[in-house]
Each structure stands twice: as C-alpha cells, then as structure tokens.
Homo-oligomer: A and B are copies of this chain.
C-alpha cells in the first residue's frame, strides 16, 4: 500500500543548523482578509550552501520546536521537532537554478486549519533534514472560522445532517446553522460539538509526529425537510457577547420520498485520497488523479444527487493535517450533496485495536478522525455499517474492517438492511463495502487464490442472492472491474449490456480508482470478469424509473463514459422464485 508523502520526512532526525545568511520570507502575513479559507502564499528563501535536495516545510502551528515532545515518542536530543510539516516542497521546484543562485521562491496554497503557519528551509533532504532558516509567521484573519461543511443523509429520509469544523469550543461560542427553503423564512438549529485528543489515537504517527489538534467538529440535524426542495444554509457561531460569525451561504436539494418515481443519480467510488493543487507534498505522483476525480465530480454536480466514497478516504495515515486539506478539497461537492463514507483499511487498521485485519494502514488513527469528521447514520459510529435510502435506491453499507461473518452483529445488520426494503417502491438494492467481498481479479486477490477477501463470498453471497441485490460495489483494489450477474462464481446471465430481469445473480463492481496509485490485474481474467480498466475513474448509477437502471463508469481523466450497462426489471421479477432465493410457500389454500 502507498505511504503518505509526509511519512517520507524523518522528523525525529531533524537537527538544527540555523544560518544567519539564510532566510525565508512569506507574504502576505494576513490571509483570508476577504473571507476566503485558502490562499496562495509567496515564499522567498535563500541559502548560502544550496543543494538540490533542500526543501521548504510548512509548519502549523507556526512555532514547532519544543524542549520535549508529548506522548510516548522520546526524541534523540533537544531542541526537538515534534510535529511533521503540514506540507513540503523542494526548494528548486520553481527555480531549477536554485542550486547555483541559492535563492528561490515558491507559491504555496494554505488552507485555514485553525492556527498560524511558518516556513522552514532544510538542507540534507527529507531523510537527514537540517533546519537552516525559519520564516516570519503567517495566519488567516480568523483561524477559528467555521469551514468545509459536508452534508450527509440522516437516519430519516427527510433529515439532512451538516457537519463542519471550527476553532470555537463550547466555552467560546455556540454552534448554529441558519437554514430554510430557498427564499423562505430562516430557521436556526443547534449543532452538537465533538473533538478528539491525542490519547484517542492508537499509535504513531497519529499519536506523535502526525498529531495535530483537529479543532471542533459540529454536526446539526436539519429535520422534517420537504422532499426534492432547494434549501439554503450557512453555518456559524454565536459568541458569548452575542456576535455571530457566519460562513458563506451554501445550498442543497433535499432527498426524494423513498420510492418516489423521479430520476435519481448517485456517484460511487473508493480510494480517492488527496493532492495539493500547488504541486506540493508530491510523492511519485501519489494521488494527482484525486484532483481529476474531484474536478469531474464538481463539473457533473448538477446531475449528482449524492456521493458514496466507499473507504480509503484521504490516506492521511496518521498525519492528521491531511484531513483538513481533504475536506477543503471536496468542499464544493460535500457542501452541496450528501457525501457518504464507508470505513476502509486506511481509516481503521491498527494492531490490537479491534480492527478485523492486522496492519499499520491507519497510521495509528484506528478510525477516530474519519468517524468524527464525517457523519454517517450508523447506530454506533465506530462500527461503520448503515442503511440509507435515496428515492428508489436502498444502500446497505458494510464495514469490512470489522467481522461480517455469520452470527456477527454486522451480519445481522446486513440481513436486516437487505430484508427491510419494499422492493416495489425501492427496486434498486445496492450493497457497498470497502474491501472486495465479492469478485476482483486484481493481482493481490489473484495471488491469494480467492479473487476477493477470503471469507467474503462464503458468508454473504447467501444474503446477496436471497434478497436479490442488484449491484455490489467495492473499492480497495485501485482499478475498475465489472462482473457478469454471478452467484457462487458462476455467471447466471451471458448478457453484456442490456440486462433484462430476472438476473438470478448480482453484478459485482470494483471502483477503487478514485485517485490512489493504480493496482495491476492478474493476467488471468476469470470468466466472471467482463470488463477491466487499469485507470482512474468513478461510477454513476441512475435510477431512471422503477423498472430501469443505468450504470456508467467514467474515467477521471475525461469524465466520459467508458463502460455502462442497463438493467430493466419488473416487480414480479424481484418477487419470483430464483436459485436459492425462493420465498416460502404453503400447500394450504
């Protein structure tokens, strides 16, 4: 699995070698003066002994050296650097002649992350960094400002939740949302406030160099929404002196009534991650594609009702500053349509932390940042399985980072989610999970010989089949793959694009090409694998009406459809008896 770019910096080996002849200057010193929450900063620097692996680290909070580092990570000798930078770039990035002239400049984009910034020039590369010079401090006009709202569907079909981040604790201000039908009268709703501390992290780097105060995360519950209506809202804080600090105004469209017959379009992908528009924090082209995916989603937003990002959200891997940058990257999307997440290995996996899989994938986060910064309508937000309705769709989202096998709490939930939907009103039943529980011919699944997570199909295919799940969608494997309608590894229909029910099986899709480094397929393409694409992309499901569903796979590079199929089915097809899914009948009459 890819590392996090910041993990390439040997923070604990940073030594001090300040040099009066070197300097770093950053301007402007006050950012966001006309209310914006991101700004390009000009960083000018010079070093008497420049070398091509000199680099600039952006630190936030600005003063980053400390006599001792909190937490269990004892450093070599003081003064020590306890935190990784929030961003870095090589000194010669914009000036190839830096190594001769010794002077250079950079344009770096900073986002409002609740505290000030300083820029440090290092020599010795990322692995043996020596601090040469530190800049003046730079800060946003209001570091506490309410920022990066993200919507999520609530526990009722007519409830939308708004979650945002600020620097205002409850002792300072009361979080509120002002909202109402577009052009209608305004309502004021409260928000609950959560945060988490260093000791909620399960290990390094999240508990040590990766730690950064997450600020306060507020969630408001907008209830009793009228269906299909345009609402406007803004998030804010009422200070103790009565003053109100407001965000700009945002807009969303409320959900349709479950079963309503209107065109409903949902975008689904996994493993997007993040990248910096200014090209910084690059790491062998790590997640550049995430910017493409984000751009395409924004372009197509008018024709998108909801987004499901099924796991491996921002690949912070313990470097918490990246979470703020991720929610800033998706803000145009998430502030306008519900952004529903699922839990992935990079959110949850950590030894002895109750994660089903072993490994260091979450960098010590053990799920906490994802489970706090994004709302999901799960009963227990640390067990990220939930059910969600959107018009004619019923989504059953599973949590592959906890046990799903028969007899477990999650298995019972999944059966309940699949069983409790009225398929005449909500015909389109979609199963979502991060790791591939169904079918994938990605090399690492092929090498395991299971072409999916072991024990995935064994437990769940009974349920997919019994409840006639239309499509099961996974991430985790960074590519795109589509299967035939399949049950027990056998195709139940040889149609390729225009499916006519009954399908007698479920179509399984891998959509892990959101932006993280691609994963190869095995040369062997099993007979259930109809279409494979080693590229970045995302899915769009369109419920045309109760009988017709359009599935599209779009590439992130061009936003154009590169694979698609349709399913048309009548209600009786769902009700009818099919292999291993025959409803009980009686001889009595």
Q: Which residue numbers of A lie inside 8 Å of B, CB to CB?
A: 157-158, 170, 174, 189-197, 199-203, 219, 223-229, 256-262, 352-359, 366-368, 371-372, 379-383, 402-403, 405, 408-409, 419-425, 448, 453-455, 545-547, 570-572, 575-577, 583-586, 588-589
Contact = CB atoms under 8 A, between A and B. Distances in A.
A382 B583 contact: no
A546 B196 contact: yes
The 9 closest A-B pairs by CB, nearest first: A192-B257, A190-B226, A354-B583, A403-B584, A202-B572, A199-B570, A382-B422, A354-B575, A200-B571
A568 to B, nearest CB: 9
Contacts of A575: 202, 352-354, 366
B403 A356 contact: no
A158 B576 CA distance: 38
Nearest to A171: B262
A202 B571 contact: yes
Nearest to A547: B199
Contacts of A199: 546-547, 570-571
A498 to B, nearest CB: 16
Contacts of A191: 257
B368 A571 contact: yes
A203 B572 contact: yes
A547 B424 contact: no
Contact of A584 (B190, B224, B356, B422): B356
B193 A257 contact: yes
Given A419-B380, A571-B199, A572-B353, A454 B588 contact: yes
A272 B455 CA distance: 52
A224 B366 CA distance: 32
A39 B197 CA distance: 53
Contact of A228 (B170, B368, B408): B170
14 contacts: A157-B192, A170-B228, A192-B227, A194-B260, A194-B261, A200-B424, A200-B571, A354-B576, A356-B585, A368-B571, A380-B421, A381-B425, A382-B424, A455-B588
Nearest to A456: B588
B202 A358 contact: no
A359 B589 contact: yes
A381 to B, nearest CB: 5
A77 to B, nearest CB: 27
A371 B584 CA distance: 20
B257 A194 contact: yes
A179 to B, nearest CB: 14
Contacts of A448: 588
A262 B170 contact: yes
Contact of A195 (B200, B201, B203, B261): B261
Contacts of A193: 227, 257, 260-261
Nearest to A216: B261
B170 A260 contact: yes
A448 B587 CA distance: 12
Given A223-B224, A358-B585, A371 B422 contact: yes
B192 A260 contact: yes
A370 to B, nearest CB: 11
B357 A586 contact: yes
Nearest to A169: B261
A343 to B, nearest CB: 12
Contacts of A576: 352-354
A424 B371 contact: yes
Given A227-B192, A571-B200, A409 B419 contact: yes
A199 B570 CA distance: 5
A481 to B, nearest CB: 19
A203 B576 CA distance: 12
Contact of A588 (B258, B402, B420, B453): B453
A577 B352 CA distance: 6
Given A227-B190, A586-B356, A196 B424 contact: yes
Contacts of A570: 199-200
A523 to B, nearest CB: 22
A201 B352 CA distance: 53
Most chain B C-beta atoms within 10 Å of own C-beta, residue among A170, A196, A262, A572: A572
Contacts of A372: 424-425
A359 to B, nearest CB: 6
A589 B454 CA distance: 10
A425 B200 CA distance: 9
A197 B547 CA distance: 9
A224 B221 CA distance: 9
A193 B228 CA distance: 11
Given A200-B570, A201-B572, 16 more contacts: A190-B225, A192-B227, A192-B256, A192-B260, A194-B259, A195-B261, A196-B546, A197-B545, A197-B547, A199-B546, A200-B424, A358-B586, A372-B424, A372-B425, A382-B423, A382-B424
A519 to B, nearest CB: 14
A409 B418 CA distance: 12
A533 to B, nearest CB: 25
Contact of A589 (B259, B352, B357): B357
Contacts of A356: 583-586
Contacts of A261: 193-195
A381 B586 CA distance: 22
A471 to B, nearest CB: 20
Most chain B C-beta atoms within 10 Å of own C-beta, residue among A201, A261, A577: A261
A454 B546 contact: no
